[in-house]
């Protein structure tokens, strides 16, 4: 029996549906990148081609709807997760102004265009204004690929998205609430609009309070007990969908809940952490493409040419939407003197309409006029579908152009100075290996391509094959952790008669600039990491000792004790860069205990290169006064001691037994001890130049 295309399409077998969708996810970006079209546009066009209004290969079934909805939540969750939260405080006026302008300009222009230009009724014009004033961050994945999630224009756009969406939903809820069963659209329901608005505001406030109060405590509790990245990712997905479902149950859009979830979890998932890479990977590989393909399947390009009225309505809606969003970005840029690239980014990110527009137009179709027809007819519905197509294409092109311009403007001087940072991680006997890898990832320059060097040194002895095998397994596990964060780690397993000289030779062989190791306990003094006091005598580069008691991403504050005259040491700015990067990644406050000279240099470095990091200062009266330092430290803080080698200008006798005393007094607190670089690059040190006793 001969077969024809209608006999096998649309596909119904789940296996073939997955093959087709994954083929589109793989092939569309490759094809459209060759013709200089953003992959996002390729996904939408691919959905149009295979959808019910194209070749009819796929139907928009429940699987596409579910994955597409998760993809939409993923976009807003990623936006909150990647946002520069410090900018919400330092740029409160900017973000609020842009959000209000993004809503207000589009609402007014949309209402005027619908009421006076297209002669719609007042209620229908309000629906059009709500559609045009809201927008969806469809192009956010483009920003993520360029590593610009914390750029000024992106932060302003993300907040503007939520402000405009919430205000649009408020207006739409008021319109729906005033619609009586008697089908009199202009009458007011028994529940006054004032009470209706109070109810909506109360729901938003209650949801925000629950999420902001309960989610941080739940996240800290779970992350302290789950060390597996896969289980942590499952927890993150559950929380994101739970917040979205809770928001929907209150009559609000689920994207608001997903965004709030990402905003709260922002500080617990650092940008360079493996978990963040897992989240980005799953979103960009599966959920977000599903959403874009599903959006494309809704579009029937033929509708625009059905009649002259369809062309006119579509043209007015599309032009008004794009012009109003760009106008609000231009006005904000003029008010706050924002540069052209940021202005272009704001135009691109806030101009796309997708799920939010569809949700609003569907509400309008549920409002029935006295003659039995829906408030929003087929003409406006088709115009909104066309708006989704053109606005997504426009947003993708503009955002891609802005991202390229910003990226080509160069990496900051703070990051380029860190290219020479090449860390050697010395793994000890305990279970501190994951902490060593994770904290080194957070302290390294974000844009650095220099690999880490993971070393497990075994004392040379007869019959140590079993120890060597365990060492190989350890460095393999370390390499896997680093790879999950997209960072290369060179695996080194060596046996040596003298661990100190072995580490020293490895640092020279791999040209590393510093060594990071855990603080060995009393029973490990004869192991490699237990020999760190001897290493101070022969290694002049920076040595960092750590003792981590809880997951690094749950630390809430960093305390740094800086000895007098530490600013005179050669390695002053190296360790300062490290702790400032760590504070930036963890989004936590850092407190420096130091003198006036060091305070001046630290403030200048933070202002010029780490402006997003929150710092404060406490005058250090005496380095050997542990009560002054440790009385302020809690179990979920990190205590950093900047020490010095004997004979150096900042050395203090209290540093002789600093490691043992600090770990005993702060047994439940994470501790880091830094011995700064003493002579800089290319200088060999010997026991005679260190004041070894």
pLDDT given at position 627: 63
Q: Provide, rounded to the nearest whole percent, the portion of the chain with pLDDT above 90.
A: 19
Place of tokens 């290219």: 419
Over 135-163, what HEC string results? CCCCCHHHHHHCCCCCCHHHHHHHHHHHH
Q: How many Cβ atoms are within 10 Å of 403's Cβ, its own excluded?
A: 26
* Mean pLDDT, residues 170-180: 69
Look at residue 690 and tell me whether its pLDDT is greater than 50. Answer: no
Comparing 607 with 679, which gets the higher pLDDT? 607
Kindly state whether residues 349 and 491 are assigned to the same domain.
no
Of 150-164, 249-263, 632-646, the poorest mean pLDDT is in: 249-263
Among 488, 514, 539, identify where a domain stops: 539
* Mean pLDDT, residues 119-138: 87
CATH number at residue 151: 1.20.1530.20
Look at residue 47 and tell me whether its pLDDT is greater than 70. Answer: yes
Kindly state whether residues 239 and 380 are assigned to the same domain.
yes
Place of tokens 């979103």: 283
Q: Residue 28: inside a domain, yes or no?
A: no
Q: Residue 298: inside a domain, yes or no?
A: no
Evaluate whether 396 touches 38 at the Cβ level (below 8 Å): yes
Kindly state whether residues 210 and 147 are assigned to the same domain.
yes
Kindly state whether residues 341 and 432 are assigned to the same domain.
no
Q: Residue 140: inside a domain, yes or no?
A: yes
Look at residue 372 and tell me whether its pLDDT is greater than 80. Answer: no
Burial group, residue 572, by CB count within 10 angstroms (0-12, 13-18, 19+): buried
Query: Cα Rg for the chain, rounded, in angstroms?
Result: 29
pLDDT band at 213 (very low <50, low <70, confident <90, very high): confident
Residues 6+ apart with CB under 8 A from 603: 615, 617
Q: How many Cβ atoms are within 10 Å of 180's Cβ, its own excluded?
A: 13
Look at residue 248 and tell me whether its pLDDT is greater than 50. Answer: yes
- Report the chain's terminal Cα–Cα distance, integer Å: 94
Q: Residue 433: inside a domain, yes or no?
A: yes
Burial group, residue 330, by CB count within 10 angstroms (0-12, 13-18, 19+): middle
Of 134-138, 303-307, 434-438, the poorest mean pLDDT is in: 303-307
Look at residue 415 and tell me whether its pLDDT is greater than 50. Answer: no
Cis peptide upstream of residue 10 (ω within 30 degrees of 0): yes
Burial group, residue 41, by CB count within 10 angstroms (0-12, 13-18, 19+): buried
* Mean pLDDT, residues 147-175: 82
Kindly state whether residues 416 and 403 are assigned to the same domain.
no
Look at residue 16 and tell me whether its pLDDT is greater than 70. Answer: yes
Q: Residue 519: inside a domain, yes or no?
A: yes
pLDDT band at 309 (very low <50, low <70, confident <90, very high): confident
Kindly state whether residues 160 and 121 are assigned to the same domain.
yes
Kindly state whether residues 175 and 318 are assigned to the same domain.
yes
Q: Residue 394: inside a domain, yes or no?
A: yes
Beta strands in 215-326 (DSSP E): none
pLDDT band at 2 (very low <50, low <70, confident <90, very high): very low
Query: From CA 307, how far away is CA 325, in angstroms rounded?
Result: 28
Kindly state whether residues 525 and 605 are assigned to the same domain.
no
Helix (H) or strand (E) holding 594: strand 589-594
Kindly state whether residues 577 and 669 are assigned to the same domain.
yes
Q: How many Cβ atoms are within 10 Å of 89's Cβ, its own excluded?
A: 9
According to DSSP H, which parts of 457-566 are helical? 465-484, 499-509, 532-538
Among 341, 373, 408, identify where a domain stops: 408
Over 204-244, what HEC string results? HHHHHHHHHHHHHHHHHHHHHHCCCHHHHHHHHHHHHHHHH
Question: What does the block give as tokens for 263?
Answer: 């905003």
Cα angle 240, 139, 34; round to 5: 130
Q: Residue 317: inside a domain, yes or no?
A: yes
pLDDT given at position 615: 92
Closest to 333 measured CA to CA, from 343, 324, 320: 343
Provide the domain limits for residue 585.
Answer: 547-693
Query: From CA 392, how far away is CA 385, in angstroms rounded?
Result: 11
pLDDT given at position 145: 76
Place of tokens 């689920």: 254
CATH number at residue 627: 3.40.50
Look at residue 3 and tell me whether its pLDDT is greater than 50. Answer: no
Kindly state whether residues 255 and 379 are assigned to the same domain.
yes
Query: From CA 80, how far away is CA 91, in angstroms rounded?
Result: 16
Burial group, residue 472, by CB count within 10 angstroms (0-12, 13-18, 19+): middle
Evaluate whether 662 touches 595 at the Cβ level (below 8 Å): no
Look at residue 137 and tell me whether its pLDDT is greater than 70. Answer: yes
Among 388, 408, 428, identify where a domain stops: 408
Kindly state whether residues 526 and 586 are assigned to the same domain.
no
Number of domains observed in the structure of the chain:
3
CATH number at residue 525: 3.40.50.620
Place of tokens 């052209």: 340
Sheet harboring 615-619: ordered strands across?
489-496, 452-459, 423-426, 514-518, 542-547, 670-675, 637-642, 557-561, 589-594, 615-619
| CB environment 413-427: b (16+ within 10 A), e (fewer) | ebbeebeebbbbbbb
Query: From CA 94, how far away is CA 348, in angstroms rounded?
Result: 18
What integer best gives the mean pLDDT of the chain?
Answer: 82
The DSSP letter of residue 374 is: B
Kindly state whether residues 571 and 675 are assigned to the same domain.
yes
pLDDT band at 322 (very low <50, low <70, confident <90, very high): very high
**3-state percent breakdown (helix, strand, coil) of the chain, nearest 5:** 60, 10, 30
**pLDDT single digits (tens) 152-161:** 888 889 888 8
Cα angle 582, 587, 590; round to 5: 65
Q: Residue 447: inside a domain, yes or no?
A: yes
pLDDT given at position 628: 65
Looking at the DSSP bridge assignments, the partners of residue 619 are 594
**pLDDT single digits (tens) 349-359:** 999 987 778 77
């Amino acid at each position: 029996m001969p077969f024809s295309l209608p006999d096998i399409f649309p596909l119904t077998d789940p296996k073939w549906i997955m093959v087709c969708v994954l083929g589109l996810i793989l092939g569309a970006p490759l094809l459209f990148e060759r013709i200089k079209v953003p992959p996002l546009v390729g996904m939408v066009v691919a959905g149009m081609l295979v959808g019910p209004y194209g070749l009819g290969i796929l139907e928009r079934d429940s699987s596409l709807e579910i994955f597409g909805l998760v993809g939409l939540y993923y976009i807003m969750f990623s936006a909150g997760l990647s946002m520069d939260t410090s900018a919400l405080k330092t740029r409160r006026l900017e973000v609020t102004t842009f959000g209000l302008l993004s809503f207000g300009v589009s609402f007014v222009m949309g209402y005027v265009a619908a009421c006076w230009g297209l002669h719609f009724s007042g209620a229908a014009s309000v629906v059009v204004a709500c559609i045009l004033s809201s927008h969806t961050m469809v192009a956010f994945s483009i920003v993520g690929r360029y590593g610009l999630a914390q750029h000024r224009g992106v932060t302003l756009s993300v907040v503007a998205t939520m402000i405009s969406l919430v205000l649009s939903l408020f207006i739409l809820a008021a319109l729906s609430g005033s619609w009586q069963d008697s089908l009199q659209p202009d009458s007011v329901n028994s529940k006054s609009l004032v009470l209706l608005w109070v109810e909506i505001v109360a729901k938003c406030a209650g949801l925000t309070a629950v999420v902001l109060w309960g989610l941080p405590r739940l996240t800290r509790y779970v992350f302290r007990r789950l060390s597996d990245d896969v289980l942590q990712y499952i927890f993150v997905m559950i929380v994101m969908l739970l917040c979205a479902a809770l928001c929907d149950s209150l009559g609000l859009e689920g994207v608001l809940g997903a965004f709030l979830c990402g905003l709260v979890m922002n500080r617990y998932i650092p940008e360079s952490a493996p978990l963040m890479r897992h989240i980005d990977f799953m979103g960009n590989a599966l959920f977000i493409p599903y959403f874009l393909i599903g959006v494309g399947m809704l579009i029937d390009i033929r509708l625009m040419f059905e009649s002259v009225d369809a062309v006119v309505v579509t043209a007015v809606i599309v032009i008004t939407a794009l012009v109003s969003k760009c106008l609000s970005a231009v006005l904000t840029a003029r008010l706050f003197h924002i540069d052209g690239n940021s202005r272009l980014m704001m135009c691109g990110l806030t101009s796309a309409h997708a799920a939010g527009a569809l949700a609003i137009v569907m509400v309008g179709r549920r409002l029935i006029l006295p003659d039995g027809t829906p408030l929003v007819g087929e003409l406006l519905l088709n115009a909104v579908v066309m708006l989704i197509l053109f606005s997504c294409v426009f947003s993708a092109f503009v955002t891609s152009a802005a991202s390229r311009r910003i990226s080509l403007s160069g990496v900051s001087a703070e990051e380029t100075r860190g290219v020479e940072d090449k860390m050697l991680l010395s793994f000890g006997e305990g279970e501190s290996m994951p902490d060593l890898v994770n904290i080194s990832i957070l302290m390294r320059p974000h844009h650095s391509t220099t690999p880490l060097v993971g070393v497990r040194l075994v004392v040379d002895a007869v019959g140590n094959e079993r120890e060597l095998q365990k060492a190989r397994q350890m460095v393999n596990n370390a390499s896997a952790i680093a790879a999950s964060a997209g960072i290369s780690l060179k695996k080194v397993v060596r046996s040596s008669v003298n661990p100190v000289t072995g580490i020293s030779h490895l640092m020279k062989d791999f040209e590393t600039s510093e060594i990071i190791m855990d603080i060995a306990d009393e029973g490990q003094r004869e192991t490699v990491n237990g020999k760190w006091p001897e290493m101070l005598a022969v290694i002049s580069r920076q040595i960092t000792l750590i003792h981590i008691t809880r997951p690094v991403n749950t630390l809430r504050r960093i305390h740094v004790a800086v000895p007098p005259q530490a600013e005179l040491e050669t390695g002053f700015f190296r360790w300062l860069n490290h702790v400032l990067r760590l504070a930036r990644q963890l989004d936590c406050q850092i407190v420096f205990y130091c003198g006036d000279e060091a305070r001046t240099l630290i403030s200048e470095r933070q202002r010029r290169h780490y402006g997003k990091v929150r710092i404060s200062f406490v005058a250090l009266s005496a380095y050997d006064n542990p009560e002054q330092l440790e009385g302020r430290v809690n179990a979920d803080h990190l205590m950093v001691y900047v020490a010095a080698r004997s004979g150096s200008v900042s050395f203090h006798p209290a540093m002789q037994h600093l490691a043992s005393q600090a770990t005993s007094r702060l047994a439940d607190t994470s501790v880091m001890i830094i011995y700064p670089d003493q002579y800089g690059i290319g200088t060999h040190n010997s026991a005679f130049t260190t004041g070894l006793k």
